[in-house]
Structure 1
Amino acid sequence: MDKYDNQNPFWLGLMIGNSRLHWAKFEDLKLLETWNTEYSYFENYQDNFLDIVPIRLASVVPKQTKLWQQYPNVEVITLEQIPLKNLYSTLGIDRALAVLGAGTQLGFPVLVIDAGTALTFTGCDRDQSLVGGAILPGLGLQFSALANKTAALPQMSKPQHLPQRWAIETQEAIHSGTVYTLLAGIRDFIEAWCQDFPESQIVLTGGDAHILITYLQEHFPSVYTQILEIPDVIFWGILVLRQKQSQNPKKNNQPDSNG
């Protein structure tokens, strides 16, 4: 990453997920690049650019949020800043930013499926009002749960291609049960959403998005053609907030009463 100073237009977006840190580099209102790091990457980090560069941070991990608040130019994004209607207090900031970014860029209504540690569905209608969503364990978490909570089932990696449905050995059976059930659930949610919002955009994002889109292309091609795979929708949402801040700097520069 480049060095920064107070005279340049660069800033960072940071989304703290359940498994990794997700980064984006911006120049003013332009997204330049994205990358991911492990939590441990910054444990012995010596470069002081984090004390200089502005960082707009969203997090679903409170412990990590506190660690990053030690840096002087970190602005924590809260749910109260999200310009969508009907949000509830425990909605994940990652889900809110993703549906805001996707809807602003692609148009409302929109359904965002985030295939991360958890698999989430989040939908907004044409009036930019949250309709609702759902949360279930993601692909990797389902494999881990079987290994951790049973005596004899092994830890499994994600298959790169659709597994054989009717398996004749344990590992393939785990792959089959997990993958096909997950795909059926995704299809069901998409079909239910499209019944109510047939003109909706449907976005798939998150760390497992690409492997799931590969499965869907082979198993449910009609569903596959409805989906846009977009890795950066959360950062699109952060950019929406930055644009609003630049349009009304006095209001957004008021001290945060929450500290």
Structure 2
Amino acid sequence: MAQWWALMIGNSRLHWGAFADYTLQGIEHTDHDTVGTGVQQLQYVASVVPRQTTWIEAQFPEARVITLRDIPLRHCYPQLGIDRALAVWGAGQHYGFPCLVIDGGTALTFSGATGDRQWLGGAILPGLKLQFKSLAQATAALPEVNLPEQLPQRWARETQGAIASGITRTVLAGVNDFIQAWQAEFPQGKILVTGGDGPWLAQHIPRLIYDPALIFRGFQALKEP
């Protein structure tokens, strides 16, 4: 079996996918400027961080940089993030169109495609961890709070609990609002969640299908004959 790798350069980390022919074998996450374990034939690269793209091209000059022109979704706008397009393409190819992808990464994004493989649109807001961090950094007295595993008490009686309640509950309310709007228009459409905070979102919104490999399913679909 032919082995090859694909790389998604994210805002915070590098995400490496190892393939054997057309089957994903595993995913590894590394810091920027760090090559994944055992990476040899890097075939595809997609990136939202230009500086890291330049660094990777110096390490793997044979790698092909994927752009929106390579994604067979109709009506994508020029500034659309390649990570969002790849995830939607991978979700649609694996689970079927129409599909909605919720990516719980550094940014929390919503990306939808219709049944005829047309980009529907979406939304972007700061991710869960970024909201906790930015609140602490932009204020003099508020502490930085970690994302709690369990949903916190709504009416908190101390500051850390109030921050946890405010961020988690408003994010979940917003995600559910987008889901309801999606289901009203596409009642049979699949709803997928991915990204670092994907398991947390899936834990608290059971209707979501968690799949950490959507972007790599997109790479796989581009590779398949």
Using the size of structure 2 for normalisation, the TM-score is 0.96
Residue ranges of structure 2 left out of the alignment (5+ in a row) = none
Q: Which runs of 5+ in 1 are unaligned?
A: 1-7, 217-223, 248-259
The correspondence for 1:237, drawn from 215, 218, 222, is: 218
Distance 2:115 2:107 in 1: 26
Q: Is the 8 A contact 1:84 1:130 kept in 2?
A: yes
**Cα displacement (A) at 1:72:** 2.2
Runs of 4+ with >4 A deviation: none
Q: Equivalences for 1:139-158 in 2 at 5 Å? A: 139-158=128-147
The answer to whether the aligner puts 1:79 opposite 2:79 as a matched pair is no
In the alignment, structure 1 residue 53 sits paired with structure 2 residue 45? no
- Residue number among 166, 173, 180 corresponding to 2:162 in the alignment: 173
- Structure 1 SS opposite 2:34: helix
- Letter paired with 2:153: Q
In the alignment, the residues of structure 1 paired with residue 5 and residue 115 of structure 2 have an alpha-carbon distance, to the nearest angstrom, of 30
1:59-74 map, 5 Å? 59-70=47-58, 71-74=60-63
- If asked which structure has higher relative contact order (CA below 8 Å, sep 6+), I would say 2
Paired residue for 2:199, among 200, 210, 213? Answer: 210
Counting aligned pairs with the same residue, the percent is: 50
Matched letter for residue 238 of structure 1: F
8 Å CA contact retained: 2:88, 2:101: yes
Give the alignment's Cα RMSD to 1 decimal.
Answer: 1.5
Q: Secondary structure at the match of 1:147?
A: helix
Matching residue's letter, 1:64:
Q
> Larger Cα Rg: Structure 1 or Structure 2?
1
Q: Which runs of structure 2 are paired with 1:3-22 in the superposition (5 Å)? A: 9-22=2-15
- Normalised TM-score (structure 1): 0.83
Q: Give the aligned residue type for 1:158.
A: L
Give the number of aligned pairs. Answer: 224
Question: Which letter maps to 2:6?
Answer: G
- 1:105 corresponds to which letter in structure 2? H
